[in-house]
Chains A and B, each alone.
Chain A
Amino acid sequence: MIETPTLWFVIACLGLGSFGLRFVFLGMIGDRPLPPWVLRHLRYTAVAVLPGLVAPMVVWPAATGGQPDAPRLAAALITIGVGLVTRNVLAAIGSGAAGLYVGLYLAG
C-alpha cells in the first residue's frame, strides 16, 4: 500500500521535474538565436526520437510477453510504407490498423 503523503510528494516532484524538462530550453533560451550547428541537430529531433521510442514496442510487444509477433511487425511495415509513399498520416494510420487486424485475424 502506498502512503498518501509519499504519493503526493512523488506526484509533486514528478510534476515539477517534468515541467522543468519541458521548459528548460523553450523557457530559458526563448528567442535568443541558436548557433547553426545546434539548429542542424534540432531539425532531426523528431525523426531521431520517435522511431527509437517505438522500435522496441514493435519488435518486442508487451502484449505478447515480448515475443516478436508477425501481425504487429507487418502492421508496422505497412504503416511506414504507406506513410513514405503517400506522405499522408491518416492513410498510414488506417492502413496500419487494417493490416494489424487482418494479420491478427489470420494468425487466429
Chain B
Amino acid sequence: MPTETVKSVYWKGVRDAAPFILVVVPFALLFGVVATEAGLNVVEALGFSVVVIAGAAQFTALQLLVDDAPTLIAIVSALAVNLRMAMYSASLTPHLGAAPLWQRALVAYFTVDQSYACSVFAFEANPHWTLRHKLAYFFGCVSPICPFWYLATLVGALAGSAMPDWLALDFAVPITFLALTAPMLRTPAHMAAALVSVVTALALSFLPYSLGLLVAGLAGMMTGAGTEVLLERRGIRT
C-alpha cells in the first residue's frame, strides 16, 4: 500500500500495542507494591523499572534479594530469566539491523515481550515496509507500553495496595500472548514450532531460572526450520 506514510505506520503501532496497556499496568503496579513491601523507596522502585525494564527479571531479582540470596545469584538468575531477549534481538536483526547504531541501541533498550511480539507480527504481515516504516512501527508499539510501565510502577509504589483478585489479572499475560501468537501460525512449520515449544516448556518447567523456556525456544526454532526444509524438499510451498 503506497499510501502508508511513516507517520501513519507509527500510529498503527500505537493502536496495535494499546491493548497491552491492560497487561503492563497491573504487572507494573504489582511490582511497585511488592517493591515497597520489600522495603524499597519510591525512587528505588522506579529506578528498577526504568533501568531494567523487564518485569519477570525484576520480580526474580527482588524475590531473591528479599530471601537473602547472594547478590551474584540474584543478578545471574534475573539475567537468565531475560535470556529470551537475546533471541528477540536476533529475530529483529534482519528487520532493523540496517538502522544507525544509536537507533539500534534505543530499539534494544525498548525490546520487551510486547513491543517485540507486536512488531514481528506486523513486519511479517507487511513485507513491503521499508526500514523507516519498521522503525516507526516499533516505536509506535513502545509508546503506549513503556511509559505506562514506569508510571504504573510509580503508582504502585506510592499506593502500595494490591489489585482485587476477582479481576484475575494474572491471566492477562497468557491471553494477550496467545492472541498474538495464534494468527502467526500460518504454516505447518509454525504450528510444529509452537507445539514443540509448549511440550518442551511444560516438560522442563522444573528447571530453575526459566532455563526450560530457553531450551523450549531453541527446540521450537529448530523444529520450525527443520519442518520448513522438509516441506520444501517435498515441493510444498510454505
| Interchain nearest-CB distance for B19 vs A (Å) | 6
Asked whether A22 lies within 8 Å of B109 as measured between CB atoms, the reply is yes
| Interchain nearest-CB distance for A74 vs B (Å) | 11
In angstroms, Cα B107 to Cα A79, docked, is: 29
Asked if B66 is an interface residue, CB under 8 A from chain A, the answer is yes
When each residue 165-209 of chain B gets 1 if its CB lies under 8 Å from chain A and 0 otherwise, what string results? 110101101111111111111000110011011101110010000
Of A2, A63, A92, the residue contacting B39 (CB under 8 A) is A2
Asked whether A49 lies within 8 Å of B183 as measured between CB atoms, the reply is no
List residues of chain B with CB within 8 A of the CB of A40.
Answer: 224-225, 228-229
Interface hit among B2-10, B52-60, B141-149: B52-60
Asked if B161 is an interface residue, CB under 8 A from chain A, the answer is no
When each residue 1-29 of chain A gets 1 if its CB lies under 8 Å from chain B and 0 otherwise, what string results? 11010111111111101110111111101
Which residue of chain B has its CB nearest to the CB of A34?
Answer: B94
List residues of chain A with CB within 8 A of the CB of B11.
Answer: none
Asked whether B178 lies within 8 Å of A42 as measured between CB atoms, the reply is no
List residues of chain A with CB within 8 A of the CB of B216.
Answer: 48-49, 52
List residues of chain A with CB within 8 A of the CB of B108.
Answer: 19, 22-23, 26-27
List residues of chain A with CB within 8 A of the CB of B205.
Answer: 56, 60
List residues of chain B with CB within 8 A of the CB of A88.
Answer: 183
Of A8, A19, A38, A61, the residue contacting B170 (CB under 8 A) is A61
Using a Cβ–Cβ cut-off of 8 Å, how many residues does chain A contribute to the interface with B?
76
Of B120, B180, B200, the residue contacting A52 (CB under 8 A) is B200
Using a Cβ–Cβ cut-off of 8 Å, how many residues does chain B contribute to the interface with A?
93
In angstroms, Cα B197 to Cα A56, docked, is: 11
Contacts A44-B221, A46-B121: A63 and B82 contacting too (C-beta < 8 A)?
A: no
List residues of chain B with CB within 8 A of the CB of A79.
Answer: 174-175, 178-179, 182
Which residues of chain A (74-95) have a CB below 8 Å from chain B?
Answer: 75-76, 79-84, 86-90, 92-93
In angstroms, Cα B75 to Cα A22, docked, is: 16
Asked whether A59 lies within 8 Å of B202 as measured between CB atoms, the reply is yes
Contacts A56-B205, A61-B170, A79-B182: A48 and B65 contacting too (C-beta < 8 A)?
A: no
Which residues of chain B (77-114) have a CB below 8 Å from chain A?
Answer: 78-79, 82-94, 96-98, 101, 104-105, 107-109, 111, 113
List residues of chain A with CB within 8 A of the CB of B87.
Answer: 45, 49
In angstroms, Cα B52 to Cα A46, docked, is: 22
In angstroms, Cα B190 to Cα A17, docked, is: 30
In angstroms, Cα B54 to Cα A87, docked, is: 28
- 12 intermolecular pairs with C-beta atoms under 8 Å apart: A2-B66, A10-B71, A17-B78, A19-B109, A44-B224, A49-B87, A51-B197, A52-B212, A53-B177, A57-B171, A79-B175, A100-B171
Given contacts A7-B44, A50-B113, A72-B174, 16 further A-B contacts (CB under 8 A): A8-B44, A14-B58, A18-B79, A22-B108, A42-B90, A42-B221, A46-B120, A48-B219, A51-B201, A52-B200, A54-B178, A57-B170, A60-B205, A82-B179, A83-B181, A89-B16
